[in-house]
Copies of this chain bind each other. A is one copy, B any other.
C-alpha cells in the first residue's frame, strides 16, 4: 500500500470540502501512475485512521471516485482502482514526465565494447547455439531432491548457519578436479565463482591496467576480448592453426614487447575447437618460465571428451605460479547452474576474494550445496559420462550429414570432444548472407558467427550440436543445404 498518510495533504482552511480535496489527490495519484489500475485501496476505516478523519469523510471520497469511474467497489473485497482505465502514462493526462524517461545529465562510460547482439526473434525456428549442454538430460529428480536438502540446510536456524560458506562445495570440487585434471593444488588455491566468465573478469580486472599489452589468439573468445578492451588493454593477436596457438609467433612477440597477460584456451579452443598439441604446450610452458607473464588458461571444455584422451592442462605443468587456471561447471550442467572456479596462488586469490566481495558479496549457497551433493554421490560423473556418449553420437551424425550434404561448400575438422563444431564455408559462399537466408527459412544461427566486419575472412560459425536432438540436426543441415543451393 502507498503511504497515504504522507501523500494526502489536507488544507483545513480551504473552501474546497475535505472529501473533495482527497478525491482530487487520489485522481492525481492514479493519473501519475503511482496508483495503478487494479490496485487495492485501503479500507475506509484504516484510511480514516491514517488521515485522522471521520470514516464518513472517507466513504464520501470513495463514493465520489466510484461515481466518476475511477475506482470500483467489490463486494466483501473492498475498493480497487478500476482495471478498465486506459493505460495511465503521465504524458496522457499531466505534463509530468517520468524522470527516468530523460537522458540524465551525468557522464558515464559510454564505450560500445560489446559489438554483438544476442537476440533475434526466432520463436519457431530451429536454433543453433554456441555449444551448450542439453539440459533435458539432467537428472531432474536428483537435482530437485538435493536442492530441497540444500535449501533446508541453508535456511535452518542454527549457529552453524553462520559458518555456511563455500567450503563444503570447495572440498567436493577439489576432489573432482584432482581425479580428472592432474593439477597439483591445495584447498587454498581454489576459488569458487559464478561461472567461468566471473573468474576471467576477476583475474583480468586485477592484472590489466590501461595500456597493458595482452596477447590473445586470432580468433578468440569474443566476450573475453570485450572485457580486455574495456579494461584498456592493448590487444595483440596471435594466429592459431591446426595445432593451436602459434607459439613461435608468440615467442617473437615476447622477445620484443612487455606482455602483461596471455589468454589461452588450449583445450577445444573457442571458437575453432582446435586442441593445442603437446609440442606447442611444452613450448608455451618454456616461454612462461622465461618471460613470466600472467597467463589465464581458460579450460571451459575439459570435461567433454568423446574418447577419453585429453592432454593435461597447462596448469599441471611447471609454470612458477604464473598460470591462473579457470574452469566451469556450466558447460556440464547448463546455464541455471552458474558455477566456475579458479586455481591460482594463494596470494593472488587473496586479492580475488576481496574484489569478489565488492562485486556481489558471495555466490549461491543453495546451488553450490546441490552440486556438491551431486559430486559426492557420483551423479555428476555419471551425468558427464552419459552426456559425453550422447554428444559424441550427435557429433558423428552432424559430421556424416555435413559430408553428405554440404561437402562442396565447407571445411571443418571434427572436434575431439565438446559441444560445438567450427564450420567454415569456402570463401565463395558468403556466410553472413546464408545465415540471413536460413533465418527466413526456419533456421536461426544464434551461436558466435565470424563472418562480418573485421571477422569476415573467417566465414565460419560454431555449430552447437550438443543441445540438438537428431531430427533437429538433420533439419538444420537440410535447411542450410537448401539455402546454399538456392543462393549459389
Contacts and interface: CB of A to CB of B under 8 A. Distances in A.
A410 interface: no
B334 A155 contact: yes
Interface in A292-346: 292-294, 308-312, 315-323, 334-336, 338, 343-346
Contact of A364 (B100, B336, B351): B336
Contacts of A278: 6
A104 B320 contact: yes
B206 A323 contact: no
A124 interface: yes
Interface residues of A, number: 123
A359 interface: yes
Interface string A151-167: 11011110111110000
A428 interface: no
Given A198-B359, A354-B114, A361-B197, A6 B309 contact: yes
Contacts of A151: 140, 143-144, 147, 336
A82 to B, nearest CB: 16
A439 B292 CA distance: 46
A161 B134 CA distance: 11
B108 A207 contact: yes
A148 B370 CA distance: 13
The list of the 10 closest CB pairs from A to B, nearest first, reads: A104-B321, A136-B157, A106-B294, A102-B321, A105-B292, A135-B155, A98-B184, A100-B189, A198-B360, A108-B206
Given A98-B189, A110-B351, A147-B151, 5 more contacts: A3-B308, A34-B182, A230-B355, A335-B365, A360-B360
